[in-house]
Homo-oligomer: A and B are copies of this chain.
Amino acid sequence: MLENVKQKKTKKSDVQQTIEALRCELSELENVIKERKLPVIITFDGWSCSGKGSQIAKLIKYLDPRFFRVVSFRAPSASEKRKPWMTRYWEALPKKGELLFLDRSWYRDTVNAYMLGEIDKHQCKQRIADIKTFERQLTDDGCLIIKFFLHITKSEQEERLEKLADSSITSWRVEKSDSFNHDHYDKYLKHYDKMISETNTANAVWHIIPANDKTTAQLTVLDTVVNAIKCACAAAEKNAPYYEKSELPLSDNIPQKFKTESTQKLAEIDMDKSIDDETYEKQLKKWQDKLFELQNICYQKKIPVIVAYEGWDAGGKGGNIKRLASALDPRGYEVHPIAAPEPSELARHYLWRFWTRLENDGHFTIFDRTWYGRVMVEPIEKITPQKRADMAYQEINEFEKQLSDWGAVIVKFWINIDKDEQYRRFKERENTPSKRWKITDEDWRNREKWDEYEKAVDRMIEKTSTEFAPWTVIEGNDKKYARIKALKTIAKSISKKLEEQAK
Contacts and interface: CB of A to CB of B under 8 A. Distances in A.
A66 B337 contact: yes
Interface stretch (A324-332, A391-399, A476-484): A324-332
A255 interface: no
A61 B324 CA distance: 10
Max chain B CB contacts within 10 Å: which of A61, A103, A322?
A322
A53 B437 CA distance: 31
B434 A172 contact: no
A70 B35 contact: no
Contact of A437 (B31, B72, B335, B366): B31
A318 B434 CA distance: 50
Nearest to A67: B337
A321 interface: yes
A381 interface: no
B331 A70 contact: yes
Nearest to A63: B322
A71 to B, nearest CB: 8
A188 to B, nearest CB: 22
Given A35-B437, A337-B66, A437-B35, A72 B326 contact: no
Contact of A101 (B56, B64, B330): B330
A300 interface: yes
Given A35-B437, A79-B79, A57 B322 contact: no
A487 to B, nearest CB: 14
Interface in A56-104: 56-57, 60-66, 69-70, 72, 77-79, 101, 103
A496 B20 CA distance: 36
A34 interface: yes
A334 B69 contact: yes
Interface in A303-352: 318, 321-322, 325-326, 329-331, 334-335, 337, 342-344
A28 interface: yes
A368 interface: yes
A315 to B, nearest CB: 14
Contacts of A329: 53, 57
B437 A34 contact: yes
A383 interface: no
A28 B300 contact: no
B368 A331 contact: no
A269 B326 CA distance: 63
A335 B70 contact: no
A297 to B, nearest CB: 9
A326 B61 contact: yes
Contact of A57 (B79, B296, B330): B330
A169 interface: yes
24 contacts: A31-B437, A34-B437, A35-B437, A53-B331, A56-B330, A60-B325, A60-B330, A63-B322, A64-B322, A65-B321, A65-B366, A66-B318, A66-B335, A66-B337, A69-B334, A70-B330, A72-B331, A77-B79, A101-B330, A103-B330, A169-B296, A172-B300, A342-B342, A342-B344
Interface of A: 28, 31, 34-35, 53, 56-57, 60-66, 69-70, 72, 77-79, 101, 103, 169, 172, 296, 300, 318, 321-322, 325-326, 329-331, 334-335, 337, 342-344, 366, 368, 434, 437
Given A56-B330, A65-B321, A342-B344, 6 more contacts: A31-B434, A31-B437, A34-B437, A61-B326, A65-B322, A66-B321
